[in-house]
Homo-oligomer: A and B are copies of this chain.
Amino acid sequence: MEQMLIEEGTRFLELKDKRDAQWARIAESAEWFKYTLGGDYDRRFYAIYLIETYHYVKHNPKHQALVATRMDEMPVHYMKFCYEHAEEETGHELMAFHDLLNLGVSIEAKDLPAPLASTQILISYLYNISETGNPLRRLGYSFWAEDSYQYIQSVLGMLTKTLSLTNKHTSFLVSHSTIDQKHSQEIEEMLNKFCQTDEDWESIGEVLEITLRLQSDMMNQVVDEYDKLINGAPSRYSFLNTYLA
C-alpha cells in the first residue's frame, strides 16, 4: 500500500518533470515567448491574444462537463470533479473579454472575429479527448492550464510593463492564476486518486504535451497575426486599429 503511494508519487513527479521540460523548450525556442520578452509591440498584440483566449476559454466548461456525460461507468468523485470544475470555469472567457473592453476596444462579443485556425485546432482537440479515449486524460490539460503562472511570470512582467497594463487589463491572466491555485490542488488530488494504470498516466502525459503545444501554436499565430496587422496586410483584426493604433 505504501509502495503504491510512492509509485503514484513517482508518476506524478514524472508528469511535473514533463511539464517543466516542455515549458523550458517553449521558453527557449517558442517564437511567441521570445517575441513577448522582446517588448517591441503595442496593445494590439495583447488584444489579439485576448480575443483568441476568449474563444478557446469559452469551450472549457463544455468539454470539461462532457467527460462526465459519457455512457461508460466512471467513479462518482471524478464525475463530481468534472461538473464542479466545469461550473468554476464557466464565464471565464468574460474576463478576457472585459480586459479587451478595458483596453478601450468597443465591441460586442458576438461581433468578435472568428477564432484563428490554431485556436480552432486547440478547441477541436480538447473536445475530442474529452469525448473519447481514456476519460482521465483531460486532466493532462488542466494540469498545465491551471498552473501556468510560474512559467510565464517573465513574459507577463514584460507585457505588463511594455503596455502599461494595470489589473483591470489583466484580470484573466493574473486573477485567473490565483483562482486556479485551488483547481491545481484538486487536479493533483484527482491524478493521485484516480490514475492507476500506466495507460492512465501515459494518456494524461500525452494530452499535457499536445495541448501545451497547441496552445503555444496559438500564441505563435497571435504573433504572426499581429505582424500582418502592423504591416498593413489584410487582417480580421483591422478593427483594432480604430481603438488601439
Q: Could you say which residues of chain B place their CB within 8 Å of the CB of A66?
A: 65, 69
Interface window among A3-11, A18-26, A83-91, A172-180: A83-91
Which chain A residues numbered 115 to 150 have a C-beta less than 8 Å away from chain B? 117, 120-121, 123-125, 127-129, 132
Which chain A residues numbered 11 to 32 have a C-beta less than 8 Å away from chain B? none
Tell me the number of copies of this protein: 4
Q: What is the 8 Å Cβ interface bit string for chain A, positions 66-110, against chain B (1 contact, 0 not)? A: 101101010010011001101100110010000000000000001
Contact in complex: B71, A83 (CB < 8 Å): no
Contact in complex: A90, B94 (CB < 8 Å): no
Q: Could you say which residues of chain B place their CB within 8 Å of the CB of A62?
A: 68-69
Q: How far is the CA of A210 from the CA of B213 in the complex (A)?
A: 17
Closest B residue to A87 by CB, please name it: B83
Contact in complex: A86, B71 (CB < 8 Å): no
For the complex with contacts A65-B66, A120-B210, A127-B127, 6 further pairs of A-B residues with Cβ separation under 8 Å are A61-B83, A66-B69, A71-B132, A73-B110, A79-B90, A83-B83
Q: How far is the CA of A120 from the CA of B83 in the complex (A)?
A: 24
Closest B residue to A69 by CB, please name it: B62
Contact in complex: A214, B121 (CB < 8 Å): yes
Determine how close the nearest CB of chain B comes to the CB of A148; give it in whole angstroms: 20
Which chain A residues numbered 51 to 73 have a C-beta less than 8 Å away from chain B? 61-63, 65-66, 68-69, 71, 73
Q: How far is the CA of A90 from the CA of B86 in the complex (A)?
A: 14
Determine how close the nearest CB of chain B comes to the CB of A78; give it in whole angstroms: 10
Determine how close the nearest CB of chain B comes to the CB of A190; give it in whole angstroms: 14
Q: Is A206 an interface residue (CB 8 A)?
A: yes
Closest B residue to A86 by CB, please name it: B83
Given the known interface contacts A71-B132, A117-B206, A127-B124, the answer about A61 and B79 at a Cβ–Cβ threshold of 8 Å is yes
Given the known interface contacts A61-B83, A125-B124, A128-B127, the answer about A117 and B210 at a Cβ–Cβ threshold of 8 Å is yes
Determine how close the nearest CB of chain B comes to the CB of A82; give it in whole angstroms: 8
Q: How far is the CA of A132 from the CA of B94 in the complex (A)?
A: 22
Q: Is A209 an interface residue (CB 8 A)?
A: yes
Q: How far is the CA of A91 from the CA of B91 in the complex (A)?
A: 26
Q: Could you say which residues of chain B place their CB within 8 Å of the CB of A94?
A: 76
